Structures are given as C-alpha cells and as structure tokens.
Structure 1
Amino acid sequence: MRLIASLALAAALAACSPPSSPTPEAPSAESATLAPDATLTTVSAPAANARVTSPLAVTGTAPANWYFENQFPVRLVDAQGVEIAMAPATPRVNWTENAEPKEFDAQLSFSVTRETPATLVLQEDMPGEGEAPREVRVPVILAPN
C-alpha cells in the first residue's frame, strides 16, 4: 500500500514540476558551419553542400539582434571570396517585438555557366561596438538553370 501511495505522490509531483528544457544537439558534419558564438542562427534551406539553382531561396532562424532596420545581409561568394550575389534576409514577423529568434527568408539571384562551388554567408547586421559581426557559412554548389 505504501508503495502505491509513494508512486502516486511521485507521479503527482512530476506532473506539477516545470518541463525540462530540451538538450541542445551537437551539429552534424553536414550542418552549416557556425562561428563560435552564432549557435542561435540556423539555416533550414539550403542544406550544406546542396546543388542549388537561381533564384536561391534561403530560410532559417536568427536572433533578433542580428537584424538592423528589419534585415541582415546574405551573400554568395565563390571559392576566392568574390561576391556572386547579395540580398537581405527579412524576418517573417516583427523583429523588435521580443528577443526570441525570428524565422527569416532571403532570395538570391545568380548566373553560372557550369557547376560552381560557393559559400552562402549570413552575417549579423548589428554587432556590438568594436566587435566583428557573427557569421554562418553554408557550402553549396551553384548549378546553371
């Protein structure tokens, strides 16, 4: 009888306790390359090493403090770091409402005549004073249309 009462009490206490926060998962080797302090920024699409065509839709989630004037820059650069395309990422909701990460969208147009290795670079647009902007880099293969 005491065992049943103890189990019932334990179940009741567990039901009343706050939910535990999810344990962060370690990024896989196939995920975007993150700067050490940019772990809150994720890229949902395109996947790392994806073969992409123009226009390239980029989606993901970024902290509210990455945005300035409701946007942050997204660039495509070639293997030498030369910019191929640039467009602003804009949040799907008001970025000033709270400090929670915001889903974003960006669309980049480019033209290539053959498959070209490139890197998608998302860059924070509001770094702290004297700080370098945080970046997320995703390798992709640009394909002709």
Structure 2
Amino acid sequence: MNAKIIWSIVGVIVLIAVGGFVIYLYQCNDASCYYFNWQKIRAADSFQKCADLGFPVTESSPRQCRAGDKTFTEQVQAVSDLIHVTTPLPDVLVQSPFVVTGEARGPWYFEASFPVKVYDSNGKELGSVAAQAKGNWTTNDFVPFEASLTFSAPTTEKGTIVFQKDNPSGLPANDQSVSIPVFFSANASKL
C-alpha cells in the first residue's frame, strides 16, 4: 500500500476518534465522565447539583454555590409554608392561660413538639410551653398542634407569642420562628 493512503486512513481514524471523544464529553450527563472543570460548570444547573459537584458553598442565609461565573441560591421554604397559627390571631386580647392551636409541617417538630413562648414588649419572657403534635409528626405534611400557655403577669399592654421551630442541633441556620403580636388583658395573669 502506498504510504500516502496509509497516512490518510490513520488521519481519518484519528479525526473520528477525537470527534467521538469531543461529542462524548459534550453529551455526558453523568459525574463519572466529567474529566474537565468546564464540564462540571456546564452541568451545574441548580444549587443542589452545584454543591454535589463539589463547588464552594457560602455559609450565608440562604446559602449560595458558585460554579464558574454562575451562582445558585438555595431555595429555603418560607415560614408561612411550614406553620399556620389558628389561635391566637394577630392583635387579639389574651390572658393566662390560653390555648394556642394550628398546624405545622413535620420538620417543624422534634419528638412531636416545639416551643411556644410569650414575651412582653420589652422582650421579657413571661412563659413557655411545648406545643404537642396531635398526629404523626414524621411527615412533610401539616400536622395539627395544641398547647395551653400559662404566663406571669405582664408589665406592658402588648406582647408577642413566638412559635419556634424545634432546633435540637442548635445551629443558627436551622432557627425559624413565627411571631404573633397580641394585647394583654388588664387581668392577663392569674399567677
């Protein structure tokens, strides 16, 4: 065979191999075939995917992940999507004891309860209680809760009821709460 023909065949084979490899790199959607950083950057299309691919995550709230010149922000569920307070309603008159009710998604609870606290307008804690789930709390669905909250005599006419997401880890990033403003009746406490 002629050397020119052999080199032409080798050249065509090399071009086909290189072309096939380039197509493989561009069409690969699996982390096992990411050989170059540009592939990972191209594949990062959400916060979770960016973090899974090993790109740096900032410890801000909400967290952010940067892949090349793309930045993805973690989607944090709004508190209103996690807890609905039925009683007390905002700006109602309360006196001790009173019942708090509503529903919260399972992750709001820990061991079927979460703390509810009452504060005066100076920020002084007047009382607290653990609201108890009235059903299976190991779900992402809403679970009803109820608690009877007793508190000491307030020195202010306004206050706040705070429903805190139970946070056994103690990490500030996991802290969430809902605050309901209330008025104290003249004889708010019988303690």
Q: Which moved more, 1:37-46 or 1:125-134?
A: 125-134
* Distance change >3 Å, CA 135–CA 44, structure 1 → 2: same
Instruction: List alignment gaps of at least 5 residues for structure 1.
Output: 1-35
Residue 100 of structure 1: which of 134, 141, 144 is its match?
141
How do 1:36-75 and structure 2 match up within 5 A?
37-40=78-81, 41-75=83-117
Q: State the aligned residue count.
A: 109
Partner secondary structure for residue 181 of structure 2: strand
Instruction: List alignment gaps of at least 5 residues for structure 2.
Output: 1-76
- The answer to which structure has the higher helix fraction is 2
Given that 1:119 and 1:140 are in contact with CA atoms closer than 8 Å, whether structure 2 keeps it comes out as yes
Given residue 82 of structure 1, which amino acid in structure 2 is its aligned partner?
K
Could you state the TM-score of these two structures normalised by the residue count of structure 2? Answer: 0.52
Runs (4+) of structure 1 moved beyond 2 Å? Answer: 111-116, 126-130
Partner secondary structure for residue 131 of structure 1: helix
How do 1:58-137 and structure 2 match up within 5 A?
58-96=100-138, 98-112=139-153, 116-126=157-167, 131-137=173-179
Given that 1:59 and 1:104 are in contact with CA atoms closer than 8 Å, whether structure 2 keeps it comes out as yes
Partner secondary structure for residue 80 of structure 2: coil
Could you state the TM-score of these two structures normalised by the residue count of structure 1? Answer: 0.67
Q: Which has the higher contact order (CA 8 A, sep 6+)?
A: 1
Given residue 135 of structure 1, which amino acid in structure 2 is its aligned partner?
S
Higher-Rg structure is: 2
